[in-house]
Structure 1
Amino acid sequence: MRIAPALTTCLLATACLAHDETPCTSEAEAKWQPLSAAVKKAESLGHQPKVAEIHHKCYEVRGKTKDGQRFELILNPVTLEPRPAK
C-alpha cells in the first residue's frame, strides 16, 4: 500500500517545520518595549527587516542580512535579548 510512505513523509516534513512555541516572557504586555524597538535592534545588527510580528509572546523579526541571506531574530519583548538556542 502506498499511503504509508506518503503519510510518513508528510509527518516528517511537518515535524521539521515546527517552531519552538515556548513563550519568551511571562511579563504583562504593558511592560513590553514597542515592536518598533525590535525592528531597530535588527537594523543595528546590519539586517534589513521585512516582517516583524508577535508570536508566542516573542518578537519575531525576519528579513535579509547585509549579505542577502535570510534571517529570523526571536527576541524577548521586555529586554530585546535574543532567545537562547535550544
Structure 2
Amino acid sequence: MKRLLSAVILATASAGAFAGTQCTEEPKDKWMTEEAFKAKLDEQGYTVKKFKVTSGNCYEIYGKNKDGKKVEIYFNPVDMSVVKSKSEDEDDDD
C-alpha cells in the first residue's frame, strides 16, 4: 500500500513540476515538423511512447532514452533544446 501511495504522490508531484512550462514564443511555422523531430529523436536513441504539443508551445515526449530509462522531456520545437526533463530507472518496482 505504501508503494502505491508513493507512486501516486510522485506522479502528482511530477505533473505539477512541469505545469506551465513555456518552451518558445516562435510561431508554429518556425517549428521543426513533428515528423522531422521524431526522426531526430530516433537518431539520438530515444524510443517515444507518447508525443504531444503542450499549451506552453513545447514538444513533450514520454518514452525511453538510449540507456533504456523512462523519460519525460519538454523540448523547444524550434531548436530541439531540452527545457525540462525527468528520468527514472526501470526497476522501480523492487
Common fold: TM-score over 0.5: yes
Specify the TM-score bucket, using the shorter chain as the normaliser.
0.5 to 0.7
Write the distance in 2 (CA, Å) between the matches of 1:60 and 1:15. 17
Residue 58 of structure 1 is matched in structure 2 by: 58
Matches within 5 A, 1:1-86: 13=9, 16-17=13-14, 18=16, 19-55=18-54, 56-83=56-83
Runs (5+) with no aligned partner, structure 2: 1-8, 86-94
Alignment TM-score, normalising by the size of structure 2: 0.63
Give 1 or 2 for the bigger CA radius of gyration: 1
Q: Aligned pair in 2 of structure 1 residues 62, 84: CA closer, same or farther (>3 Å)? A: closer
Query: 1:77 offset after TM fit, Å?
Result: 0.8
Write the distance in 1 (CA, Å) between the matches of 2:44 and 2:73. 10
Alignment TM-score, normalising by the size of structure 1: 0.67
The percentage of aligned residue pairs carrying the same residue is: 30
Please, what is the CA RMSD of the aligned residues? 2.4
Count of residue correspondences:
74
